[in-house]
């Protein structure tokens, strides 16, 4: 019945046009929708009446263009912008060196400590007149301040509690694209890569500028445009010229380009007999290559490296350490101010130890041996971007090394392009986790932003979900994850609720009931996915290779790529024992965490089966047996998605018809696939528990053998692993 209702709604909105005018989502959160409230329209008009943007530089030009777009969209006519100060000005934007009214000692004092990217929004007096100002030490700071101001105006808010002073908490705020030179995207679910290498460097697609603009609006200042499974050819002279063209398009928006470096590039590109990082000829090759890149791209950011992981070459091929390899590259880019992001996602089937422990074992012994311009890039959890993981034990265990968290914005394990899963709660769960190293309050956020150790180096990386789909991210709500990652990289103290409300207001509108309804959907969505996929600490039980859909039965191939390696279900129970009596992975955490999590009675339910193998009749905190609780969690996940869809249907007349219909159909897929996950997993696990399903839940339907055959020979993005 619900399916018929959805089909009817979609047909009606398509054929009759009774809903709001359709939007394809291309404008993201920068819609600058017309202001309909008369009072707020007057307020916005007063601010944008005559804007003075100082400075003769490309960033000042894009600020002026942004102000014009905002005026045209919100007020119906472009805002008046000029480069010369006039007493008729309603808003001043610029730096003290370019704008006389901002060059006062009072303003210079206000800008102290804001660095090059921070900004000030407040009032400034000049010749007896007070003006609203967006001021910064550098043009890019003024750009960030402009986007902050326009965000407030778009949200339907006013500038309260002035002055506003902000500076990013993280210095390097990067997107990692897993884009290949053939334009396929590994773990990409929104079309092909937006980088059209064939037409570069001559043809600059306007989308490149829109991409840079979107990133600048949320504070992202770096983009790694190539896959971590790197192709050495991107370091060739031909491709450096193409990359330089992209860098030129991005530069006015403060967005720097980075590249992935294939460790064997000296051998593959120029025929050196070795890539040993301690061989002088190899070190010279990388130094020369860095010089070549920086000659073409003076603000090149540096290299991201995946080495000795999943078949990628690295220093261990030559009996060298990760520090040896990272430091060689860091030495090459250091004279130019570049950095190296060295990924810690390493594990081997040849090592008979819990995969959870391997990165820690490989990197922690080398704490303090990495150069100052090296960041060790650590996934938020120790396995691989699962729906829920405890924070990686490396956080807090390497006080002498700059660590950068790597989050996955693309939803490889979370329904990919078809499930609505708002990821800010996942990001926050990691950032707010207390490592207890060196003591209570040592959160992951304080470790990575440098404040815990008094370090001025900090970085964060997010694996992009961007492609050629007209709305950039495939699923309309995938945009919220790009947005929330950028906002948290700028200020990790923002809450999931605050970011969701911002994004909804910018993307759909500021109607309070609309914001409340969509917020409810978004804020429940991640927990719903955990429940219908991997509740109570289960993990890595997805389908083989493409990772789409359930696969708790996967058992063939190398053990650490199977599901049975992780859930270990048998007649005695389920879960992975990582206590001292098992793999002892808990021993890699601080004693406070090890003690609390080693006891099933004090271990949080959400991580119970991550750290414990427990009997099916184990009594949970709820009073249910483990089997009953597992079943009810799976069923709760399905019910939560049904609730999400029911709530979405109520916004039909308050959201444009195109995005409303897209989201409704995708929620229908998600509801069906939540049942698929629940039924397949519970029917599989019931073989071991030999216990009935609780009567209060919807009873799983279907035949296990049919589920085990899989759904389609062509799943979304069946490309190789990361």
Task: Look up tokens 């009931």; give the residue.
Answer: 513
361 closest CA partner among 353, 369, 349: 353
Report whether 629 contacts 622 (CB < 8 A).
yes
Report whether 132 contacts 123 (CB < 8 A).
yes
Tell which phi-psi region holds residue 415, choosing left (phi > 0), alpha (psi between -120 and 50) or beta.
left
Residues facing 567 on adjacent strands: none
Output DSSP code: residue 319: T
In 552-656, which residue ranges form alpha helices assigned H by DSSP? Answer: 564-567, 591-598, 608-611, 626-649
In 380-471, which residue ranges form alpha helices assigned H by DSSP? Answer: 424-431, 444-448
611 closest CA partner among 599, 628, 625, 629: 599
- Residues 328 and 370: their CA atoms lie apart, in Å, by 10
Active-site amino acid positions: 310, 384, 412
- Residues 465 and 668: their CA atoms lie apart, in Å, by 22
Containing 209, the helix (H) or strand (E) segment is helix 206-217
- Is 222 strand, coil or helix? strand
Containing 256, the helix (H) or strand (E) segment is strand 256-260
Residues facing 51 on adjacent strands: 81, 91
CA atoms 499, 501, 506, 508: torsion sign: positive
Report whether 644 contacts 420 (CB < 8 A).
yes
Give the CB-side neighbour count of residue 145, counting CA atoms within 13 A. Answer: 34
Report whether 100 contacts 135 (CB < 8 A).
no
- Is 8 strand, coil or helix? helix
Report whether 399 contacts 477 (CB < 8 A).
no
Containing 141, the helix (H) or strand (E) segment is helix 139-154
Count how many residues are written for the chain: 722
- Is 661 strand, coil or helix? helix
- Residues 544 and 564: their CA atoms lie apart, in Å, by 12
- Residues 599 and 578: their CA atoms lie apart, in Å, by 11
* CB within 8 Å of 658: residues ≥ 6 apart: 22, 23, 24, 25
């Amino acid at each position: 019945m619900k399916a018929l209702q959805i089909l009817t709604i979609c047909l009606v909105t398509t054929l009759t046009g009774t809903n709001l005018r359709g939007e394809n989502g291309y404008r993201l959160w920068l819609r600058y929708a017309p202001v309909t409230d008369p009072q707020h329209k007057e307020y916005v008009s007063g601010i944008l009446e005559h804007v003075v943007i100082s400075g003769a530089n490309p960033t000042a030009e894009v600020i002026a263009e942004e102000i014009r777009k905002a005026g045209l969209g919100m007020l119906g006519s472009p805002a008046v912008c000029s480069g010369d100060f006039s007493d008729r000005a309603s808003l001043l934007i610029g730096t003290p060196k370019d704008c006389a009214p901002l060059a006062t000692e009072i303003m210079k004092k206000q800008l102290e400590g804001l660095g090059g990217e921070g900004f000030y929004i407040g009032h400034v007096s000049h010749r007896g007149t007070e003006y609203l100002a967006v001021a910064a030490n550098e043009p890019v700071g003024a750009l960030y301040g402009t986007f902050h101001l326009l965000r407030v105006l778009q949200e339907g808010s006013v500038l309260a509690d002035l002055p506003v002073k902000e500076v990013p908490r993280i210095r390097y705020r990067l997107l990692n694209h897993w884009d290949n030179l053939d334009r396929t995207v590994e773990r990409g679910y929104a079309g092909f890569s937006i980088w059209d290498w064939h037409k570069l460097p001559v043809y600059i697609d306007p989308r490149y500028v829109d991409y840079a603009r979107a990133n600048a609006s949320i504070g992202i200042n770096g983009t790694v445009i190539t896959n971590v499974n790197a192709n050495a050819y991107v370091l060739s002279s031909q491709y450096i010229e193409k990359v330089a063209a992209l860098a030129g398009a991005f530069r006015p928006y403060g967005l720097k380009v980075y590249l992935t470096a294939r460790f064997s590039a000296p051998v593959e590109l120029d025929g050196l007999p070795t890539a040993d990082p301690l061989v002088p000829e190899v070190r010279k090759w990388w130094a020369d290559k860095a010089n070549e890149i920086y000659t073409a791209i003076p603000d090149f950011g540096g290299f991201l490296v995946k080495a000795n992981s999943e078949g990628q070459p690295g220093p261990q091929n030559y009996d060298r350490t990760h520090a040896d390899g990272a430091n060689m590259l860091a030495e090459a880019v250091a004279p130019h101010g570049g950095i190296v992001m060295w990924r810690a996602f390493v594990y081997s089937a040849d090592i008979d130890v819990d995969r959870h422990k391997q990165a820690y074992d490989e990197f922690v012994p080398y704490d303090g041996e990495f150069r100052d311009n090296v960041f060790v890039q650590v996934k938020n959890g120790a396995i691989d971007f699962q729906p829920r993981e405890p924070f990686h034990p490396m956080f807090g265990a390497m006080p002498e090394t700059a660590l950068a968290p790597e989050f996955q914005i693309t939803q490889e394990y979370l329904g990919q392009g078809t499930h609505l899963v708002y990821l800010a709660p996942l990001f926050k769960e990691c950032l707010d986790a207390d490592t207890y190293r060196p003591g209570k309050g040592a959160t992951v956020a304080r470790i990575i932003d440098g404040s815990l150790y008094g370090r001025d180096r900090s970085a964060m990386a997010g694996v992009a979900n961007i492609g050629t789909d007209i709305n950039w991210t495939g699923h309309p709500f995938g945009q919220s994850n790009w947005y929330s990652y950028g906002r948290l990289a700028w200020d990790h103290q923002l809450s999931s609720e605050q970011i969701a409300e911002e994004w909804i207001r910018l993307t759909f509108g500021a109607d309070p009931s609309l914001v409340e309804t969509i917020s409810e959907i978004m804020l429940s969505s991640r927990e719903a996915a955990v429940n219908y996929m991997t509740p109570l600490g289960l993990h890595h039980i997805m389908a083989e290779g493409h990772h789409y859909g359930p696969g708790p039965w996967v058992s063939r191939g190398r053990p650490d790529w199977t599901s049975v390696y992780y859930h270990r279900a048998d007649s005695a129970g389920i879960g992975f024992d990582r206590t001292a009596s098992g793999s002892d992975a808990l021993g890699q955490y601080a004693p406070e965490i090890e003690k609390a999590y080693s006891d099933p009675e004090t271990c949080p339910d959400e991580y119970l089966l991550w750290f414990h193998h427990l009997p099916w009749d184990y009594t949970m905190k709820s009073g249910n047996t483990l089997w009953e609780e597992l079943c009810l969690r799976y069923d709760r996940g399905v019910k939560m998605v049904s609730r999400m869809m029911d709530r979405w249907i109520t916004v039909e007349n308050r959201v444009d018809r195109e995005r409303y219909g897209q989201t409704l159909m995708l929620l229908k897929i998600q509801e069906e696939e939540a049942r698929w996950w629940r039924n397949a997993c519970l029917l599989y696990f019931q073989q071991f528990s030999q216990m009935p399903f609780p009567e209060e839940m919807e009873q799983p339907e279907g035949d296990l053998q049919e589920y085990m055959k899989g759904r389609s020979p062509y799943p979304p993005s069946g490309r190789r692993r990361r």
